[in-house]
Structure 1
Amino acid sequence: MSDASTAREIDEAAADWAVRLDADPARYAAAVETWLAGDPRRAGALLRARAALSFIDAAADGGGVATPRRRGPSRRGLLAGGGLLAAGLAGLTVWRGMGDRYDTGLGEVRRVSLADGSTTTINTQSAVGVSLEPEVRRVRLARGEAWFRVAKDATRPFVVEAGNARVRAVGTAFSVRRRDDGVEVLVTEGVVEVWRAGAEVSRSRVAAGEKAYVYEEQPAQAVRAAPNEIEDALAWRQGQIVLTGTTLAEAASEFNRYNHRKLVIDEPDLAGETLVGRFRADEPDSFARAAASTLGAAVREDGGTIHLSRKRLY
């Protein structure tokens, strides 16, 4: 298969995804992320397709605001049949939030040097899109967690988008982690501004040694972290997990982020026991044995699963 043929197939698939996302973004969000991960060229193709779709709708409206109501094969056909090129020739400004995309697999921690001199360390099962534009450096954390050391450039702020959270820096170091109920920001150097999309007037300044959490409907609030809390939370950069009075259930969940062999706690009361220690993230079996010894528990392996349970007296 020729390179031209492959590129054409990517553009055609991108056109399909653009129409599907326009029709029902919630339904197709996870599937399109899987598709994007298969080839680095797909992100750019999808961005062009979605921008062209807006252009086509706006043109159909006589230059007005595009609406999502006109869906179907005709719009997809325009995309695949030349709509992308037409949009580009028309001078359409495309949001380039994923000019470069970096993905990590299970247990993988990756350090990336960016063209502006900044660096990012990306944690397990994460996806980061980077676009270094003339007036702003944009990063999109689609999933997972990343730590950024930002090169100083007063003319181009460094803005990270993660769900509805926004983090702005010029020259500093901080991490951003997407969780189920919001976004956590930890600052290791300098100062950043944190806010919720749509609530720009409620920005919070977060300094080194502080953290902030952005929930769906609440403004970000900076709080002072406990001594060593941020350093411990970022131990994953050295391939480690630090437990500081962490429950066994929370510890198991953290180890499961990095390993195919999963930890399972068999009893709820055992899951609530707390632990302190520093462990290698890629050694769940060593952790299980240490936890069992500390808590008087038993370890049982079942295929790819490591079970921790109360010892039985028979």
Structure 2
Amino acid sequence: MKETKLEVVADTDPIRTQAAAWFARLHADEVSEDEQAEHQLWLDAEPAHRLAYERVERMWTMLGDFSAAPEISQRLAAIPAAVPAQTQPQLQRRPRRLQWLVACAAALTAVVIGWRVLAPAPISEQRYASAIGEQRSITLDDGTQVDLDTGTTLRVRYSRQQRRIALDQGRAFFKVAADTARPLTVDTAQGSVRAVGTQFEVYRLDDGLDVTLFEGKVQLRAAAADDSAAAVATLTPGQRAHMAAGEPPQVQSFHGGSAPAWIDGQLVFADMPLRAAVDEFNRYGGSPLRIKDATLGELRVSGVFRSNDSSGFVEALSALHKVSAHTNAAGETELSR
């Protein structure tokens, strides 16, 4: 095994100091509702607060993974002397365990752990996919359940510090197993979704990303190579958001059940442009639908249909909107007026 090295540098950043103190307070034996509310207000006050707090969490987890190293044990023994003076007033009348936590968490903001152990084992990546017209249900190692809609591919990368899923294409519904130490993040090119324990749908589109929340709470973040991006919105149950690169999320309410309708083989259209409804049917295979008239594509349609019954959808269009259909030489069903 290669040598493990520690380096300590001075840290005078007040935000990191505050983040460390908050981390310690919330890990005390007793945390009041008022303290929890104050902590939330502090997090929401500035994006830098949340970022600093998450960095302390990650550092604490990382330190725990390497705490057996003798160099780290020696450094921990010297940590109380590194507590910034700004945190001292918060220690008055606090239990001894909380004083120790504040000392450790505050010192973590000043400790840079550079280890040269054996190169960390590469994080294994698992790939899952569903074919056109197929739907799959999988259970991940942590108990998280994922339903893949037709034509969906995703990659799962879990480590001791984080849970990340890259949605490369398609749509998936997540029932996330709670793990406060390792929030689950779903990444796409348009942005990411972060959750601890909750139920939500992510739909990757050509022009962006749709996120629908059924239970719990999720954070929406701009696309980034790591966790440095600040939250741009937080969804509560019954909300749906559309994200596009360089634009603020468009959040709206929706009326639905406890899971997406497509899991039961249904497509629900509520005042949707016909072109979008046709795109949905075409995702499931079968005889492709084509719209000959661009104007017809803007027709608004509503209804509940079976995802494998495009012919029933065409019949409804004919009866309600006088849309005609015929099959061309390529086997496509052309819609026109």
Question: What is the TM-score when the length of structure 1 is the normalising length?
Answer: 0.64
The counterpart of 1:119, out of the listed 135, 145, 170, is: 145
Post-superposition offset of 1:215? 1.7
1:214 matched residue in structure 2: 243
In structure 1, the residue corresponding to 2:284 is in which secondary structure?
coil
Going from structure 1 to structure 2, the CA distance change for 1:190 and 1:222 (only over 3 Å counts) comes to farther
Distance 1:259 1:158, change over 3 A: same
CA distance in 2, matches of 1:195, 1:94: 28
Partner of 2:187: 161
| Deviation per residue, 1:259-310 (Å, 9 max, x gap) | 1311112223332222221111111112111211111122212352112222
Residues 233 and 264 of structure 1, relative CA distance in 2, 3 Å threshold = farther
Structure 2 residue 154 is matched with structure 1 residue 134: no
2:272–2:301 contact (8 Å) kept in structure 1: yes
| Correspondence 1:185 to 2:214 | no
CA 244–212 in structure 1, closer or farther in 2 if over 3 Å, else same: closer
Matched, 1:308 2:335: yes
Query: For each residue in 1:210-260, what CA deviation from the matched residue of structure 2 results, as whole angstroms up to 9, or x when unmatched?
Result: 1223221234x36231333xx599311111111111222221111111113
2:257 equivalent to 1:225: no
Counterpart code for 2:170: G
Deviation of 1:208 after TM superposition, in Å, equals: 1.0
CA contact (8 A) 1:195 1:214 kept: no
Any idea what SS the aligned residue of 2:286 has?
coil
Contact 2:177 2:196 in 1 (8 A): yes
Runs of 5+ unmatched residues, structure 2: 1-116
* Shift, 1:92, TM fit: 3.9
Aligned equivalent of 1:104: 130
Q: Are the counterparts in 1 of residues 214 and 258 from structure 2 also a CA contact under 8 Å?
A: no
Residue 145 of structure 1 deviates from its aligned partner by 1.2
Secondary structure of residue in 1 paired with 2:295: helix
Task: Please list every run of 5 or more consecutive structure 1 residues that lacks an aligned counterpart in the other structure.
Answer: 1-89
Task: Give deviations 1:102-160, integer Å, cap 9, x for gaps.
Answer: 01111111111112111001111111111232121111111111110001111221111
What is the CA–CA distance in structure 2 between the aligned matches of 1:222 and 1:208, rounded to whole Å? 15
CA distance in 1 between partners of 2:258 and 2:332 (Å): 27
Partner-residue secondary structure (3-state), 2:210: strand
Please give the alpha-carbon distance, in whole angstroms, between the structure 2 residues aligned to 1:102 and 1:263. Answer: 28
Secondary structure at the aligned position of 2:281 is classed as helix
Q: Decide whether aligned partners of structure 1 residues 224 and 93 sit closer, same or farther in structure 2, where only a CA change above 3 A counts.
A: same
Is the 2:219–2:231 contact (alpha carbons within 8 Å) kept by the matching residues of 1? no
SS in 1 for 2:230: helix
| Structure 1 contact 106–260 (Cα < 8 Å) conserved | no
Whether contact under 8 Å (1:301, 1:307) holds in the other structure is yes
Change (3 A) 1:110 1:160: same
Give the percent of matched residue pairs that are identical in Structure 1 and Structure 2. 31
Larger Rg computed on CA atoms: 2
Q: Compared with structure 1, are the counterparts of its residues 243 and 164 closer, same or farther at alpha carbon in structure 2 (3 Å cutoff)? A: closer
CA shift in 2, pair 1:294/1:115, >3 Å? same
- Report the AA paired with residue 271 of structure 2: G
Tell me the distance in 1 between the aligned counterparts of 2:336 and 2:118: 63
Question: Partners of 1:95 and 1:142 in 2: how far apart?
Answer: 21
Write the letter of the residue equivalent to 1:242: V
- Counterpart AA for 1:217: G
SS for the counterpart of 1:217 is: coil
Report the counterpart of residue 47 of structure 1 in structure 2. Answer: none
Distance 1:91 1:181 in 2: 43
Q: Distance in 2 between matches of 1:122 and 1:282?
A: 16
Please say if 1:175 is aligned against 2:204: no
| Separation in structure 2 between the aligned mates of residue 288 and residue 305 of structure 1, nearest angstrom | 12
Residues of 2 paired with 1:282 and 1:266: CA distance?
Answer: 22
Residue 171 of structure 2 corresponds to which residue in structure 1?
Answer: 145
Quick one: structure 1 residues 274 and 164, their matched pair in 2 at CA, closer, same or farther if it must change by over 3 Å? closer
Q: 1:271 to 1:217 in 2, by over 3 A?
A: closer
Which gives a bigger RCO, structure 1 or 2 (Cα 8 Å, sep 6+)?
2
